[in-house]
Amino acid sequence: MGRLIEYWDDYRCWLMNICGLFDTTYDDLCRILHSIDAFGRDYDTNRFEDGLNQRTFYIEKLNWDEQYKAEEELKQHKCSFFEMIVALAVRIDDEYLGDPKQPNAGKWLDEMLRGLDILKYGWNVSPNQERIIRKRVNFMLNREYDDRGNCNIFQLRRPYAGFRDLPIWQQMQIWMSERYGG
């Protein structure tokens, strides 16, 4: 049974590596984000599916004899918030600025964590800081932020009416347009 539990944690480390988080600086933060189930509006199910699809890429990297065990373990988990935002970072990088020679998903993950104002909680997270992280993520997933996206993965400089009612991908496009033009 011990190895099965390790797949979920090993998978989290693999997701961190996709975004260039090779050291342990953000280990606690990513562990917490990976323990939170992603949920949201029906029109955001594609974001959760993208997150779940990352599992396929991870499993393909394993030895053949471990693939089935890993797949069985990972199926027991819903899409985590961490999976969702890593997959979103990868998709942003692929579709907007993708350079296969120089992947940059970490930049987009960094931007999203800054939007939630949780990047400062990287390692050695106290119980109180964990409560803050969970509260901010749930605040975002419940769409309790304002029209500027305060405490959202995409914060705007100017209000945008109905921002919280838009799909995450459309929020990202508005944010991207405001930040980088286009």
pLDDT at 98 (0 to 100): 63
Q: Is the pTM of this model over 0.85?
A: yes
pLDDT at 169 (0 to 100): 93
pLDDT at 101 (0 to 100): 66
Q: Where are the domains of the chain?
A: 2-180
Q: What is the CA radius of gyration of the chain?
A: 16
Q: How many residues belong to the chain?
A: 182
In angstroms, rounded to a whole number, what is the distance separating the alpha carbons of residues 65 and 89? 30
The ranges of the chain with pLDDT < 50 are 1-2, 4
- What's the farthest any 2 CA atoms get from each other in the chain? 52
**Which DSSP state fits 80?**
B
Asked if 120 and 26 touch (Cβ cutoff 8 Å), the reply is: no
Task: Enumerate residues 6+ apart whose C-beta is below 8 A from 34.
Answer: 8, 12, 15, 80, 81, 82, 83
Side-chain half-sphere CA neighbours of 87 within 13 A? 25
Asked if 8 and 77 touch (Cβ cutoff 8 Å), the reply is: yes
Four-residue CA torsion sign, 57, 21, 97, 165:
positive
Four-residue CA torsion sign, 22, 28, 30, 31:
positive
Per-residue pLDDT reduced to its tens digit, 21-66 = 877 788 999 999 999 999 988 889 999 999 999 999 999 988 888 8
Which tokens is 113 given? 């964590």
| Per-residue CA distances from 116 to 33, 137, 153, 171 (Å) | 12, 7, 5, 14
